[in-house]
Amino acid sequence: MERTLVRVENLKKYFPLMGGVFRKVVGKVHAVDDVTFDIYRGETLGVVGESGCGKTTLGRTIMRLLEPTSGKIIFEGRDISRVTGSDLREIRKGMQIVFQDPMASLDPRVTIKNSVGEPLMINGIARGPKMRAMVLDLLQKVGLTEDHLNRFPHEFSGGQRQRICIARALALNPKFVVMDEPTSSTDVSVQAQTLNLMRNLQDELGLTYMFISHNLSVVKHMSDRVAVMYLGKIVEMTPHDIFARSLHPYTFALVSAVPIPDPDFAGRAQILVGEVPSPINPPTGCRFHPRCIFAQEICQTEEPLLRDMGDGHLVACHFAGELDFGSSAQQEYAEASQES
């Protein structure tokens, strides 16, 4: 079996910007701009970045919920970027998505049994008592019981609703699941439950995850590899711990802004100056150069390409490996807590 499950090649997604009296296209939002990467079987690929960096758009475009502007999406060796109709439906059985807000993605007037069973009915896999049995099996997998079958979404807590969404995503036995901020609307204790459940399901069913989140600590714990996005581009893709070893200045800045749950390290967060530039007119050259303290002339003119640093660690920076970021409070905290 091939190692790569999903391959994304030069994927672009631009949203047109209308303006003027005749609703002409006056610009383009470069949401995802020329992204290439592989997702291997059985791994979890974490995708992090600030809001507006294109991580959700990337997830949705791979699922073909949004039409790619150009580029290829190869799923199990087949280019699915132009597939339509019943072929697309067939492919979608193999890939599913769990959305951010579980309340908004469950129909409030449909019982849990029918919500979770809908994919089974639509694809003609099961209906009636057989569907009920399959739904029950799915619900039990995510830690719910038979009593919950005929209830409505409002009767559940946020964490339970998210588990229902996960059960529904698993109904068709997919190989690849995109998790779009699955725990951003839940509390710490519930978040731990949901993440543990996702891990268990991955071990049990051999799933491959693309885990999109803005919470760096969660991504670090869940992922085998982490992709860092900035303004529609992947700037770094690393199999290492992003807190311990980052080579792109943006990744380092992002990691250094995470609050440390230890008062001894208070006030040490490093502040990234400025704000994210508009994706309508992204800066020339390296997109991070206006905010980068290491920026040189070349950064303004030439766009750095993702290059392999030797061990599968990809970085898009002209000076990757040459820069000395110093040590972040987060690294010192990690060292201090490992010693004690």
Partner 1 sequence: MASADSVLRIKDLYVNFYTYEGVVRALDGVQLDLKRGDTMGLVGETGCGKSVTSKAILRLIDPPGRIESGSIILSDKDRNTGEITDIDILQLHPKEMLGIRGNKIGIVFQDPATYPNPVFRVADQIAEVIILHQDLRRDALQMKIRELESILQPGPRPDECDISEDSSQSSASQRASSPPTPLPPEKVESIRQRIASYQAMMDDPPKLDKKTLKAAARQRAIDMLRLVKMPAPERVGDQYPHELSGGMRQRALIAMALASDPLVLICDEATTALDVTVQAQVLKLLNELKAKVGSSILIITHDLGIVAETCNRVTVMYAGTTVESTATHELFENPIHPYTAGLLNAVPKLHENKERFDQIVGSVPNLISPPTGCRFHPRCKFATDICSTDRPELREIKPDHWVACHNPQGEF
Point out which residues bind partner 1 (CB under 8 A): 50-51, 157-160, 186-193, 195-196, 199, 214-218, 220-221, 241, 243, 253-254, 256-267, 269-272, 275, 330, 333-335, 337-338
Task: Look up residue 193 and give its amino acid.
Answer: Q
Pairing of strands 78-79, 70-75: antiparallel
CA-CA distance, 175 to 121, in Å (whole number)? 20
Question: Is 164 within 8 Å of 116 (Cβ atoms)?
Answer: yes
Q: Provide the minimum distance between the beta carbon of 320 and partner 1 in the complex, in angstroms, as a whole number.
A: 21
Q: Is the dihedral of CA 55, 58, 62, 65 positive or negative?
A: positive
* Residues, the chain: 340
Q: Which is nearer to partner 1, 131 or 255 (CB)?
A: 255
Q: For 215, phi and psi rounded to 5 degrees?
A: -85, 105
| Helix 329-339 with 249-256: angle, nearest 10 deg | 60
Q: Provide the minimum distance between the beta carbon of 319 and partner 1 in the complex, in angstroms, as a whole number.
A: 21
CA-CA distance, 322 to 296, in Å (whole number)? 13
Q: Provide the minimum distance between the beta carbon of 158 and partner 1 in the complex, in angstroms, as a whole number.
A: 7
Q: Provide the minimum distance between the beta carbon of 84 and partner 1 in the complex, in angstroms, as a whole number.
A: 36
Q: Which is nearer to partner 1, 67 or 275 (CB)?
A: 275
Question: Is 182 within 8 Å of 100 (Cβ atoms)?
Answer: yes
Tell me the H-state helices in the chain: 55-62, 85-92, 112-122, 128-141, 158-170, 188-205, 216-222, 249-256, 297-301, 329-339
Q: Which is nearer to partner 1, 95 or 234 (CB)?
A: 234
Q: Provide the minimum distance between the beta carbon of 183 and partner 1 in the complex, in angstroms, as a whole number.
A: 10
Q: Provide the minimum distance between the beta carbon of 103 and partner 1 in the complex, in angstroms, as a whole number.
A: 13
Q: Provide the minimum distance between the beta carbon of 267 and partner 1 in the complex, in angstroms, as a whole number.
A: 6
The radius of gyration computed from the CA coordinates of the chain, to the nearest angstrom, equals 21
Which of 212, 210, 304 lies closest to 250, judged by CA?
Answer: 304
